[in-house]
Structure formats: C-alpha cells, structure tokens
C-alpha cells in the first residue's frame, strides 16, 4: 500500500511539473479568486504577464487594466459572478514600464473543498495576434479602398468627377428597364472652347471644364445622371413621371452660368449651347441622337441657345446632312466650278476683269452659293472649295491664252481662315500662277482688328508671286482706315448695298464719293459692284469709280458662255436690271 501511494505521489508531482512546464511554454498565467473572502492568487507566469509582484492574496487586477477597458472588463466579471457562469473577456493592461499589452482572459465558476464560491481562470498575452490582425485589417481596408478607387477611376472623368462615357452608356441603358417613365436628355457643349484654350491656355481650359462639371453636379437631383462624354461635351439625364424636369435643369444651369468664373484674375462668363430631347423609357434607342441634333441646331443658330428636338428639326438636319454628303462627293467629282462675272472699265465698258464665283453643278442642277457655302463653312470645306475654284480658274486662264484670247485678270475669293494658314504661300507658289492674271479677293471683316504677323507675311509672299490683293464689300463691314493704310490693297470693292440706292439718295452718293476719295489717296483702284443699269454706271463713273460690276453687264456665267464675251473688248450695258 505504501509503495503504491509513493508511486502515485511521484506520478502526481511529475504531472504537476509537466503542467507547469507546459504553462510556462504556452505563456498562460493562472489565477484563482475566492468570492467569499475577496482574495486572489496569481501564479508566477501571470505576475510576469502583468509585470508586477503582488501579494499572495491581494486583489490588484483592475489597477493594471487600461482605463478605457476597465468598466467593460469589470462589468463582464460581475455578470459572471451574478450568473455563476463562465467568464470570457479581452482587455488591455498597462505594465509598470508603460507598455500596453492585449490580454485574453477565460474563467469558470466552482465551489472549493471548503464550500466557498470561486473562479479559476487563465490569461495570456495576445498582443502579437491583435497587432497582426489590426495590420491585416488595415491592409484589407487599403486594398478595398484601392479597388474602390480603381472602380471610381474606371467610371468617372478624372477632371470633373462626372461619369465618363463608358459608365454613362451603362447607366443610360439601365434606364430603359424602368417602364412608365419619361427620360430627358440635356446635351451640353461649351461654346468656342478652342478660343478659351487659346486665350487662357490648357490650364484655363481645364478650369472651365471643372467649373462646368461642378455646376452640372449641383443641378442634378437624386437618381439623375451627369456625365462628361469627352472634350467639352456634357450630358444630363433625368427620368421622371411627367415632362418639364429638363427645362428646370436648363433654367438652373443658365442661372449658374451667368456668374463669371475667375480665370487668372479675369472674370469670364462661360457660354453653352444645349440640345434637349425626351422620350418614354422604352424608346431610348435614338434619344441621344435626337439631343445631339438639337445641340447641333442650337450651335448653328448662334450658340448660347437651347433647342428642343422635334421631328421637323430632324427632317431639316437630316436633309442638311444629306446635302453635306452630296457636296463632299461633288467636290471629289469636280462639280464645284467657277462661274465668271465680268468687270468693265467705268468709261470704255471694255472687259478688264472677271470674278470667279463658286457654283455647284450638281445632278439636281446648278446650285447657288447661298445653298452650299454656309454649309461648307460650318463643316470645314472652304479650303477645298477655294482650291477647286482657283485650280479651275487657272485652267481656264491657260486655255484662253492658248486660244489667243486677251485674258483679263481673274479675281478669286479667299476665305479668312485660309489667309492665316502658314502653309498658304508655299501652296500658292507651287501653282506657278502667271503674274498679273490672278487676284485674291479678301472679305473685309478679316481686318476687324490689326493684321496679325502671320497674315502680313502671307500677303507679302503672295504679292511676291505676282498676285494682286483686293478687299471685298468695303463700307459694309469693320475695316478701319488704318487697316487699309497698312494693307495697301491693289483695289477695293464698294458693297452693292451702298451702290443700289445711289440714284435716289444724295447722302449715299456723297458717302460713295468719300470712299472713292479715300481709296484714291492710297492709290487703290475702286470697283463698284451691284451696278444694275446704265444710270448706275454713269453716276458711279462720275463719282470716280474705276471698274464696274453687276447685272447691267452680265450675270455670273459658265466658262463656255464667258469665252465668247472675251472675243469682244467692250459690251453694251442694259438700261434696266436683268
């Protein structure tokens, strides 16, 4: 019996020693709290965790718990006492050296051998785990934020923060699934945005784009869409139960645009053209195209306007687009040709010049400039038309020369945008134009301000090629006397609107006489256009005009008809207008 008991005690001691080693290795500290006596025992491991040497039965736990965690940890223990249930808590402690550690505590209620209620528990330091989890949480949050940023960047315009074109297309398509609603589109374009970039630089242009983006954001309500489709093109889409919301958006936007934007210390008022279109949500297929057509009409009608789409507007614009396509085809086929109107000496009536005027010999008949030149100017075709007329005029001049006809000077119109083209002189030189045979006729409004350096250089180089310079429509535009002195054209044209009333209006005659005197003082020839009768011709000759042009001497005619006129040096003007 004694031997067996000794073996049992030895085995028990081994087990206790093994347990202590295991607890020490695990870093777990053990405590026991007697509720009746309010006494607590800590093992050495727990004292090491807390960094204190406490008295055998002292209760010092809450003195080490972090103030922010003390109430919660204490409340959990009190609840376990009341319920005689398990206790589980995590809290922070502050060690004597100021280090903060995270502690996990677990305990069970029991009654000891003396019948006294107690808790026995274990605690261990989980600081490394907590910090690792916090780091992982931060990394997950950063990753989530990065993904959110990437999604935002993929869906939004970087400059304005509005939806980009891709995200807008997706959002717009989703509206078609909301039956029973009206969808309205406000298509917005900043007027003359290129001029803004030229004036303020791209930084100023970006500032304007951001400002317009912020105004659009302020105008839209819940569920409405604002997007930048690209460049200076924006769109707002609203879906509602009844019409009228789109006009409210435009009203708010117009009011906001009236407030100037400060760009580099300069107040600048932004102007926009807006196209509007609405349709039921199940008919969205052509809605964007409709609002774009309305925007096109708003810009063509003078800009800074609102235009509402209608079927009649669509028919009009579609017809114009068809005409534009036909014009492009006609240009490639050589259908845009010069018709020539004679210019005669004001005293002898001998032909002394021709003006080449653009006509379009289409399959539907000859079309006047009013039918296609504004369209060509709006779509960047004027250079092609200028080139077509000049090339054909040169061909006709050479053909007349080969036929031993006395070829007069031919005036060819040159659009304003061509005159500022730095490549114009080189292009003209390549044509090898015979000196004295061609004159470039410039629209007077080109000279609204003083001539730019590029324009001056171009004019000088054109003159070096033996080409005269003329100014059209003197007296109806904005040319200054200083501009005339600076340019010194070979000849100027008095506008037909001044010429027509010259027979009945003495004031008009004096005005024309003054213009002629100014031109003569600059040694510039005077061409009077709009001469419809012999009476006009006689009055203008007395006033000092050098050259006459108008229906009294002939309408613009094709090359075949004008060739016969060149065989006679003088023609008889009509007494009445043709």
DSSP states along 543-573? HT-SEEESTTT---B-HHHHHHHTTSSB-PP
- Residue 578 is predicted with a pLDDT of 42
pLDDT in tens, 67-105: 999 999 999 999 999 999 999 999 999 999 999 999 999
Chain centroid to CA 137: how far?
41
- Residue 467 is predicted with a pLDDT of 92
pLDDT in tens, 37-65: 999 999 989 999 999 888 888 878 889 99
| Average pLDDT rounded to a whole number, residues 8-36 | 71
| Average pLDDT rounded to a whole number, residues 344-366 | 92
pLDDT in tens, 405-443: 877 899 999 877 778 788 888 888 888 888 888 999 987
* Average per-residue pLDDT for the chain: 86
- Whether the CB-CB separation of 59 and 38 falls below 8 Å is answered with yes
Angle at 520 (CA atoms; ends 517, 525), nearest 5 degrees: 120
CA-based nearest residue to 118, from 90, 77, 82, 81: 81
Can you count the helices (H) and strands (E) in the chain?
20, 21
- Residue 476 is predicted with a pLDDT of 60
pLDDT in tens, 445-493: 555 445 677 788 888 899 998 999 988 877 665 555 666 777 788 988 8
- Residue 244 is predicted with a pLDDT of 67
- Residue 249 is predicted with a pLDDT of 85
Chain centroid to CA 189: how far?
7
Residue 577: pLDDT band (50, 70, 90) is: very low
- Residue 479 is predicted with a pLDDT of 53
Token reading at 129: 């785990």
CA-based nearest residue to 551, from 571, 526, 577, 527: 577
pLDDT in tens, 180-223: 778 889 999 999 999 899 889 999 999 999 999 999 999 888 87
Hey, CA dihedral for 427, 431, 432, 438, is it positive or negative? negative
pLDDT at 291 over 50: yes
pLDDT at 319 over 60: yes
Buried b (16+ CB within 10 A) or exposed e, 535-559: ebbebbbebbbbbbbbbbbbebbeb
What's the rounded Cα separation, in Å, for the pair 150 and 139? 16
| Average pLDDT rounded to a whole number, residues 161-176 | 89
What's the rounded Cα separation, in Å, for the pair 48 and 302? 86
- Residue 10 is predicted with a pLDDT of 62
What's the rounded Cα separation, in Å, for the pair 198 and 263? 13
pLDDT at 358 over 90: yes
pLDDT at 330 over 80: yes
Token reading at 28: 């777990």
Token reading at 546: 């050098």
- Using a pLDDT cut of 90, give the percent of the chain over it: 47
Name the β-bridge partners of 439: 411, 468
């Amino acid at each position: 019996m004694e031997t067996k008991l000794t073996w049992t005690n030895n085995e028990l001691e081994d087990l206790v020693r093994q347990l202590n080693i295991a607890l020490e290795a695990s870093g777990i500290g053990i405590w026991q709290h007697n509720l009746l006596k309010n006494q607590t025992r800590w093992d050495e491991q727990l004292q090491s965790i807390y960094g204190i040497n406490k008295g055998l039965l002292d209760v010092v736990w809450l003195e080490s718990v972090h103030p922010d965690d003390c109430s919660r940890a204490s409340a959990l223990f009190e609840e376990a006492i009341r319920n005689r249930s398990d206790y589980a808590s995590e809290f922070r402690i502050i060690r004597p050296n100021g280090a903060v550690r995270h502690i996990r505590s677990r305990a069970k209620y029991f009654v000891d051998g003396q019948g006294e209620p107690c808790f026995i528990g274990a605690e261990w330091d989980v600081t490394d785990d907590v910090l690792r989890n916090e780091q992982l949480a931060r990394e997950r949050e950063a990753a989530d934020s990065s993904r959110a940023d990437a999604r935002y960047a993929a869906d939004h315009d970087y400059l304005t923060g509005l939806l980009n074109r891709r995200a807008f297309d997706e959002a717009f398509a989703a509206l078609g699934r909301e039956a029973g609603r009206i969808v309205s589109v406000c298509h917005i374009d900043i007027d003359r945005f290129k001029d803004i970039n030229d004036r303020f630089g791209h930084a100023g242009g970006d500032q304007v784009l951001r400002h317009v983006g912020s105004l659009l954001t302020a105008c839209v309500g819940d569920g409405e869409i604002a997007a930048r489709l690209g460049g200076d093109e924006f769109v707002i889409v609203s879906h509602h139960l009844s019409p009228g919301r789109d006009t409210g958006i435009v009203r708010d936007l117009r009011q906001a645009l009236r407030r100037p934007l400060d760009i580099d210390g300069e107040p600048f008022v932004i102007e926009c053209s807006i196209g509007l279109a609405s349709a039921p949500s199940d008919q969205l297929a052509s809605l964007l195209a409709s609002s774009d057509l309305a925007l096109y009409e708003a810009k063509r009608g003078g800009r800074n306007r609102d235009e509402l789409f209608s079927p009649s507007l669509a028919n009009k614009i579609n017809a114009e687009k068809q005409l534009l396509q036909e014009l492009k085809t006609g240009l490639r086929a050589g259908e845009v040709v010069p018709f020539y109107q004679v210019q005669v000496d004001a005293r002898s009536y001998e032909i002394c010049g021709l003006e080449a005027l653009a006509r379009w010999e289409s399959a539907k008949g000859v079309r006047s400039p009013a039918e296609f030149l504004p369209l060509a100017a709006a779509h960047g075709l004027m250079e092609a038309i200028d080139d077509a007329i000049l090339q054909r005029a040169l061909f006709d001049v050479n053909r007349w020369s080969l036929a031993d006809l006395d070829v007069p000077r031919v005036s060819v119109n040159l659009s304003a945008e061509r005159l500022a083209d730095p490549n114009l002189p080189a292009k003209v030189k390549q044509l090898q134009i015979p000196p004295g045979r061609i004159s470039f006729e410039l629209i007077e409004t080109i000279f609204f301000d003083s001539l730019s350096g590029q324009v001056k250089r171009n004019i000088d180089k054109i003159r070096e090629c033996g080409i005269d310079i003329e100014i059209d429509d003197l007296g109806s535009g904005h040319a200054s006397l200083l501009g005339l002195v600076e340019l010194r054209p070979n000849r100027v044209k008095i506008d037909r609107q001044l010429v027509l009333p010259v027979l009945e209006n003495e004031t008009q005659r004096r005005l024309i006489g003054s213009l002629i005197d100014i031109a003569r003082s600059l040694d510039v020839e005077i061409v009077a256009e709009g001469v419809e009768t012999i009476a006009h011709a006689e009055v203008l000759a007395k006033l000092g005009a050098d050259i006459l042009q108008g229906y009294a001497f002939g309408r613009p005619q094709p090359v075949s008809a004008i060739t016969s006129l060149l065989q006679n040096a003088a023609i008889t003007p009509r007494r009445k207008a043709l």
